[in-house]
A and B are shown apart, each in its own frame.
Chain A
Amino acid sequence: MSDIFAKGLVCPLDKNNVDTDQIIPKQFLTSVSRDGFAEALFFDWRYLADGSANPEFVLNEPQYQGASILLTRANFGCGSSREHAPWAIQQYGFNVIIAESFADIFFNNSINNGMLLISLSAANIDFLFNRSKQGPQQWQIDLTNQEILLGNNTAIGFSIDADVKQRLLSGLDFIGASETLSPQIDAYEAQRRSAMPWLG
């Protein structure tokens, strides 16, 4: 198996605290399906009031078309727990997000959809933003060795929780994994019922 988990064009979104209301505004949450959210991604930034593409927004710049790695700053994905946010990001074409930090719920939601989220120090994030200002970047992500390969023999290492890494590499159905503990769940329920019958 190749060590490269993902590779592609990088889109720099130079903002802190991008919240899930910005990632996908609420009018798109009324769907009962998991699909069809790509168009809704960053809707209020991406489109002008008349519905045309906002030329000022980075995602609309010609050199970033087809990007699959999103570079951003601190506390990405804060706010509402809507899983529609990672769905929209993934359906647009991103499979990796690199940021200084992520909000907890957003992080879990993304991992549950098989996306890789990489946290780096503020200094490294600055370095990557500076680099992306020099022109469009094509990076590779080596998850096995935990490195972002920037080209020209330059790489930045990253740390990742061992369990998260294993899940991403094995692509395991997480409900199925928990179901292997069914006997323990049965036992827990029985003990709970006798010790604290009011809990049901």
Chain B
Amino acid sequence: MGQTLYQKIYQSHVVGALNGSTDLLFVDRHLIHEVTSPQAFAGLRQAGRPVRRPDLTFATMDHNTSTQVRSYDAAGETSRKQLEALAANCAENGIELLDLYHPDQGIVHVIGPELGLTQPGMIIVCGDSHTSTHGAFGAIAFGIGTSEVEHVLATQTLPQQVAKTLKVEVTGTLSPFVTPKDVILAVIGALGTAGGNGYVAEFCGDAIKGMTMEGRMTLCNMSIEMGAKAGLIAPDATTFAYLQGRSHAPTAQHWDAAVAYWQSLYSDVDAQFDKVVQIDGSQIRPQVTWGTNPEQVIAIDQPVPAPESFTDLIKADAARRALSYMGLAAGQKLTDVAVDVVFIGSCTNSRIEDLRAAAAVVAGKTVASGVRALVVPGSGQVKRQAEAEGLADTFKAAGFEWREPGCSMCLGMNDDRVDAGQRCASTSNRNFEGRQGRGSRTHLVSPAMAAAAAIAGKFVDVSTISNGASA
């Protein structure tokens, strides 16, 4: 019987059997940031353990940093302490750090691929749930907790058990203005936030093959939102072309050998998945979440559902609570709902392609009065490119704030927050209660949808506005 891509990568990383069904797997790349690493270094110090492979660990500062000013102090005293702790821990252990002042600093899941640290066939971990992003390159990439960060620092390995496999096939061609963000929201809507629990999801099908690496990263980024341990996509020519020439990618000397290996990374035709889901990509419409978890999502032209329409009583109750938190009523059209804040950014949608899509909608228009809109590029590289392409000027001319790279308003942990009761069209990945600030109301959308909402001051169906922009 054939093997799935996940099984191939898993097996090639088994260092040994720990006990029963638990294997010790080798970790190729370990990414760390300021929030989930300090206790791990403290633990190492306490136990007198060194970092085994500082050369395979890379650090950045993103969560707790200000994107308004480049300063350790800007997001408060405790944040400064965390940033300083990371800098000291990296210096002490010889770990490469892209600190706040480094030109390529950015969100950990944006810079990993950008620097070529993320490569097909790898096992990549980070103390952050959206590590699933890196699966877009055909790597097993998943988030871990701080105890596991300590374990990886000490041993460069992690105890694991084989996960179940889920195949998500997205067939057909996407309509104009339907983006990878809409695809993953539709998939989560169909499978539910726990639909992937215990599984590693492999995305395939024509709609996926046609996606750029940026789009594939958006897709895999949110696979954690359906509970999947990881999401991955078999590498192909698009993947190889993206990686070639990046600073930490294989050099010319090893390039052909690396590509030859990467070409062996696919699920065999007779591989058995534990679960298979098919979705017709041509039927997907631009999506907007209406509730407080990502499965509470509708197409922009659908009415907000009535709690009674859910046959599952617990889902009905969750819908009732979500509507009350979100200040929405069943049957309402989101195209009648005004927004206060628009946030374009986060590890889901802060890459150059996302900014191009948003800028295409914004070009020559102005942000509606009373709306606060910001664009936060995912990294220094994205920022420089967007400035060179004139996208930054487009945003600024329209009335958007143009920021330094970082997580910003995705999580309300730095100096950017959505106030209580305010409604935000956000390109991030979580619409949980209070995620963007206590009492904040988040609607997840694609960059084009967010840009359109900023201009209109309310949600609009981006596929119905004709301004010559293409998706």
User: Do A and B associate with each other?
Assistant: yes
Interface residues of A (CB under 8 A from B): 15-17, 19, 21-22, 25-27, 29-34, 44, 73-75, 78-83, 86, 101-105, 108-109, 112-113, 161-163, 166, 174-175, 177-179, 181-182, 184-185, 188-189, 192, 196-200
5 residue pairs, one from A and one from B, having the closest CB atoms: A109-B145, A30-B78, A83-B145, A198-B250, A75-B194
Give the contacting residue for A161; candidates B16, B21, B47; CB below 8 A. Answer: B21
Considering only CB atoms, which chain A residue lies closest to B147 in the complex? A112
**B35 and A181 within 8 A (CB):** no
Count of inter-chain pairs, beta carbons less than 8 A: 180
Is B264's CB within 8 Å of the partner chain A?
Answer: no
Looking at B149-157, B170-178, B267-275, the stretch in contact with chain A turns out to be B149-157
Q: Once bound together, how far apart are the Cα atoms of A113 and B411, in whole Å?
A: 25
> Considering residues A30, A78, A189, which has the most beta carbons from chain B within 10 angstroms of its beta carbon?
A30
Taking the closest CB of chain A, its distance from the CB of B421, in whole angstroms, is 12
Please determine whether A198 and B258 come into contact, CB atoms closer than 8 angstroms: yes
Would you give the 0/1 interface string for B254-265, flagging 1 where the beta carbon is closer than 8 Å to chain A?
100110010000
CB atoms of A105 and B143 under 8 A apart? yes
Contact A178 B18 (CB under 8 A): yes
For the complex, count residues of B whose C-beta is within 8 A of A. 73
Q: Which of B277-285, B390-398, B433-441 contacts A (4 or more CB under 8 A)?
A: B433-441
Also in contact, A34 and B314, with CB within 8 A (given A83-B36, A175-B151): no
What is the distance, in angstroms, from A25's C-beta to the closest C-beta of chain B? 6
- 10 extra interchain contacts, Cβ-Cβ under 8 A, other than A17-B193, A185-B155? A19-B293, A25-B438, A30-B82, A81-B144, A101-B197, A163-B20, A174-B159, A181-B157, A185-B24, A199-B119
Q: Knowing A30-B78, A30-B413, A198-B254, say if A78 contacts B15 (CB, 8 Å).
A: no
Contact B22 A31 (CB under 8 A): no
- A27 near B413 with CB under 8 A, answer yes
B412 at the binding interface (Cβ < 8 Å): yes
Q: Which residues of B contact A15 (CB under 8 A)?
A: 318
Contact of B148 with A108 in the complex, beta carbons under 8 Å? yes
How long is the Cα–Cα vector from A34 to B150 in the complex, in angstroms? 13
Q: Could you tell me if B155 and A175 are in contact, using CB atoms closer than 8 angstroms?
A: yes
Of all chain B residues, the one with the shortest Cβ separation from A200 is B55
Any chain A CB within 8 A of the CB of B332?
Answer: no
Asked whether, in the complex, the Cβ of B28 is within 8 Å of the Cβ of A112, the reply is no
**Looking across the interface, which residue of chain B has its beta carbon closest to that of A19?**
B432
- Give the residues in chain B near A74, CB-CB below 8 Å: 194, 314
- Assuming A32-B85, A179-B155, is B293 touching A17 (CB within 8 A)? yes
Please report the C-alpha to C-alpha distance between residue A29 and residue B21 in the assembled complex, in whole angstroms: 34
- B122 / chain A contacts, CB cutoff of 8 Å: 199
B159–A178 touching, CB < 8 Å:
yes
Q: Is B353 an interface residue (CB 8 A)?
A: no
User: Is the Cβ of B227 less than 8 Å from the Cβ of A22?
Assistant: no
B251 and A198 contacting across the interface, CB-CB below 8 Å: yes
Interface contact A78-B82, CB-CB below 8 Å? no
How far, in whole Å, are A78 and B127 apart by their CA atoms in the complex?
15
Write the nearest CB–CB distance from A134 to chain B, whole angstroms.
20
Contacting residues, chain A, for B430 (C-beta < 8 A): 19, 21, 79-80
B145 in contact with A112 (CB, 8 Å): yes
Beta-carbon contact of B258 and A113 below 8 Å: no
B150, A44: Cβ atoms closer than 8 Å: no
Q: Give the CA-CA distance A21 to B129 in the complex, in Å.
A: 12
B26 touches A78 (CB 8 A): no
